[in-house]
Amino acid sequence: MPTSSSHITHPDLLGSDEKLLRDSAKDFARQIIAPKVAQMDSNAQLDEHILQDLFEMGFMGIDIPVEYGGAGGNFMMSILAIEQISQVDPAVGVVVDVQNTLVNDAIHSYGTEDQKNYYLPQLCANSLGAYALSEAQAGSDAFALSTTAQEFDDHFVLNGSKLWITNALEATYFIVFANAEPTEGYKGITAFIVERDNPGLSIGKKENKLGIRASSTCEIHLEDCIIPKDALLGAIGQGYQIAINTLNVGRIGIGAQMVGLAQGAFDATLAYIEERKQFGRAISDFQAVRFELARMATEIETARLLVYSAANLKSHNKPFLKQAAMAKFHASEVAERVSSKAIDLFGGNGYIKDYPVEKFFRDAKIGKIYEGTTNMQLSTIAKLLLR
The set of catalytic residues is 371
Are 130 and 174 in contact, with CB atoms under 8 Å apart? yes
Half-sphere CA count of 49, side-chain side, radius 13 A: 7
Distance CA 333, CA 264 (A): 15
- Give the gyration radius of the chain's Cα atoms: 21
3-state SS track over 42-106: HHCCCCHHHHHHHHHCCCCCCCCCHHHCCCCCCHHHHHHHHHHHHCCCHHHHHHHHHHHHHHHHH
Written as one string, the DSSP assignment of 223-240 is EEEEEEGGGEESSTT-HH
Residue positions counted in the chain: 387
Eight-state DSSP code of residue 207: P
Distance CA 254, CA 86 (A): 10
CA nearest to 227, candidates 205, 198, 251: 198
Distance CA 228, CA 157 (A): 9
Which element (helix H / strand E) includes 290?
helix 287-315
Eight-state DSSP code of residue 12: G
Eight-state DSSP code of residue 29: I
